């Protein structure tokens, strides 16, 4: 597990270095070019026309949170430097389920309190 996390951190570093830095340079160069254009010529360009507001992706934060909680569970069990091949399938499934249960409990308590607070205020509004 430690090797996987180290690999992912190295992957993020190299992706930022090889992709993020050139993109930032290109955006800055494009912005400087755009700023030097005359106002009449800027009006000819229509980069942001009518677009759909619907998005096709999303939900990445929950997966990341689940992975982080799973890593914490594996670390607390003492299986951080153990090869994946030595894990049983039951251990993997129960660790994933336990991580999901932790997330549901930690996020469910504030959600339940918020719903109770909302219901209480709605009851006070009605005569």
The pLDDT of residue 59 is 65
Tokens of 109: 């308590």
Shared domain check, 98 and 42: no
Tell whether 42 is covered by a domain: yes
Whole-number Å distance between alpha carbons of 30 and 27 = 5
Give one word for 38, left, alpha or beta, with left for phi > 0 and alpha for psi -120 to 50. Answer: beta
The pLDDT of residue 64 is 87
Q: Which secondary-structure segment (H or E) carries 4?
A: helix 2-15
pLDDT tens for the chain, residues 1 to 127: 888 889 999 999 999 999 999 999 999 999 898 888 888 887 777 666 666 666 656 667 888 899 999 999 999 999 998 888 999 999 999 999 999 999 999 999 999 999 999 998 888 876 6
* Domains of the chain: total: 2
Please count the CA atoms within 13 angstroms of the CA of 2 that sit on its side-chain side: 8
Phi, psi of 116 (to 5 degrees): -65, -40
The answer to whether residues 99 and 73 touch, using CB atoms and an 8 Å cutoff, is yes
The pLDDT of residue 125 is 75
Domain ranges, residue 3: 1-49
Tell whether 65 is covered by a domain: yes
Q: What radius of gyration, in Å, describes the C-alpha atoms of the chain? A: 24
Tell whether 54 is covered by a domain: no
Confidence (pTM):
0.59
The pLDDT of residue 57 is 62
């Amino acid at each position: 597990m430690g090797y996987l996390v180290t690999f992912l951190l190295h992957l993020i570093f190299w992706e930022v270095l090889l992709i993020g830095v050139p993109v930032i340079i290109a955006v800055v160069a494009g912005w400087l070019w755009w700023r030097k254009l005359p106002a009449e010529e800027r009006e000819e360009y229509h980069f942001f026309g009518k677009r759909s507001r619907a998005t096709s992706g999303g939900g990445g934060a929950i997966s990341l949170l689940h992975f982080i909680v799973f890593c914490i569970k594996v670390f607390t069990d003492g299986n951080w430097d153990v090869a994946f091949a030595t894990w049983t399938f039951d251990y993997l499934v129960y660790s994933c389920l336990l991580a999901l249960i932790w997330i549901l409990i930690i996020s469910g308590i504030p959600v339940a309190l918020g719903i109770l607070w909302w219901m209480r205020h709605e009851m006070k509004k009605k005569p």
